[in-house]
Structure 1
C-alpha cells in the first residue's frame, strides 16, 4: 500500500467518522427538541387548565370588591351630604 492509498483510507475513515458524528448530533438534537416540545405542551396545558381559571376567579373577586366599594362610596356620600346639611 503506497502513501496515497494510506492517505485516501485515512481521509475516507475521517469522513465516515464525521458523518457518523453529525448523525449522532442530529439524533440527539431531535431528541432534545422533542423533549422541549413535550415540556412546552405540558406548560401550556397547565396554564390553560390550572392557572387561567384561577386568574379569572381572582379577577371576578376583584370586580365584585370594586363594585361593593362603589356602592359603599355612594352610601357614604349620601350620608356626608346629609351630615353637612345638618351642620349648616
Structure 2
C-alpha cells in the first residue's frame, strides 16, 4: 500500500467517523429539541389553565360587582326618597315655627299694651 492509498483509507475512515458523530450530534439535538418542545407545550398548557382560572375568578368578580351596583342603585333611590320626604317635613316644621313665632310676637305686643294700661292705672 502506498501513501496515497493509506491517505485515502485514512480520509475514508475519518469521513465515516465524522458521519457517525454528525449523526449522533443530530440525534442528540433532536432529543433536546423534542424535550424543549415538550416542556414548552406543557408550559403553554399550564399557562392556559391558569388563564382559565383567572377568567373564572374575573367572571365571579364581575358578577359580584353587578350585584353591588344594583344594591347601590337601590340605596341611592332610597336616599333620594328620604331626602325628599324629610325636606317636606322640615319645611312644614319651619312653617309651624314661623307661625308660632309670629303668634308669640302678636301676643307679646298685646301683653305690652295691656302692661302699659295697667301701669298707668297703678300710678
Task: Give how far 1:53 is off.
Answer: 2.4
The answer for the alignment partner of 1:23 in structure 2 is: 59
Unmatched 5+ residue regions in structure 1?
none
Task: Give how far 1:29 is off.
Answer: 0.6
Superposed CA RMSD: 2.0
2:68 maps to 1:68: no
Inter-partner Cα distance in structure 2 for 1:13 and 1:77: 91
- Per-residue CA deviations over 1:56-80 (Å, capped at 9, x if unaligned) read 2222111111111000111111222
2:117 maps to 1:57: no
Task: Give how far 1:16 is off.
Answer: 1.9
TM-score (norm 1): 0.78
Inter-partner Cα distance in structure 2 for 1:27 and 1:38: 17
TM-score (norm 2): 0.59
Inter-partner Cα distance in structure 1 for 2:116 and 2:55: 87
The answer for the alignment partner of 2:76 in structure 1 is: 40
Inter-partner Cα distance in structure 2 for 1:22 and 1:47: 36
Aligned length: 87
Question: Whose radius of gyration is greater, 1 or 2?
Answer: 2
